[in-house]
Structure formats: C-alpha cells, structure tokens
Amino acid sequence: MTYGTASASYLATCCLQQLAEDESRDFSLTPETLTNNFYVDDALCGANTIEDALRLQQELIELLGRGGFHLHTFCGIHPSILETVPPDCRGMEVPTELDSSEGIRTLSLLWHPFSDQFVIRKGTCAQKLREPKTLL
C-alpha cells in the first residue's frame, strides 16, 4: 500500500478489518482490536491482566505479520510487556525512565504511561485557527 495517497488510510483500515474477519478463528483477542482499536496504523489497546496483554501482543505480531503488516513501536505501562519486544521496536526504554513530564506521542495526543492518561495541550488548536493564512 502506498502511504501519502488520499486513499491510504481507508485502504489500511479495510485491510485490517478483512484480516480480522479472515483470521478470527485462530486468534481470540486480536479481531476486536483490529476492528475497533486501530486508526490507520496506530493501535491503542489494553488488557485487564499482564498475561492477557502479553497474549494480545503476541497475537497482534503474528496476525499482522500474516497480513504483511509490521508493528514498528510498542509501548506499555508494565516492563514485562516491553521485555518481549525487540529493542528496536520499543517506544520506551526498559526499565522505563520517563518522568511525570514526559510522554509518548500517539494520534496527535500525548500519553503519560505512568498515570495512563492522555493529554491534549491547551491552546494548540485555537492557536492554529488564529494563525494568518496565506493564499497562493
């Protein structure tokens, strides 16, 4: 799929949904995640236990690999989630060393892993609306 084209996000979403439908018998956790928790190529999901999170992680890696997708960056609150991921695919260090002012950018939001909160910076949208527009 060619990213940067107008149809890329639509096609990525269609591919993920078809993959979820085609492979739902072999994977118990990922079909719902593929259908409901992806936006283009970003996934935001969680689990109730560390064991379920690790199983979801492994299913996503295997299922997306079957579909020709590659997960580039993993982040997680619990260190054991990151320990199973190759270092070049980690979005944060193990052990995690983020202080309370740092976060991880995803979907134009800032996620603070230790408090498990998403942050929207005040004023950014309003500032962009007030910026003068130049006509070419």
Total structural domains in the chain?
A: 1
Domain-located, residue 92: yes
d(CA 27, CA 96): 30
Is residue 117 assigned to a domain?
A: no
For residues 118 and 46, the answer to whether their CB atoms sit within 8 Å is no
Q: Is residue 50 part of a domain?
A: yes
The residue type of 119 is V
Q: Which tokens go with 37?
A: 């928790």
Structural domain range at position 71: 8-98
Is residue 111 domain-resident? no
The per-residue pLDDT for range 3-42, each reduced to its tens digit, is 678 888 888 888 888 888 888 888 888 788 888 887 766 7
Q: Taking the model in full, what pTM does it have?
A: 0.66
| Domain assignment present for 120 | no
- pLDDT per residue as tens digits for the range 61-70: 888 887 777 7
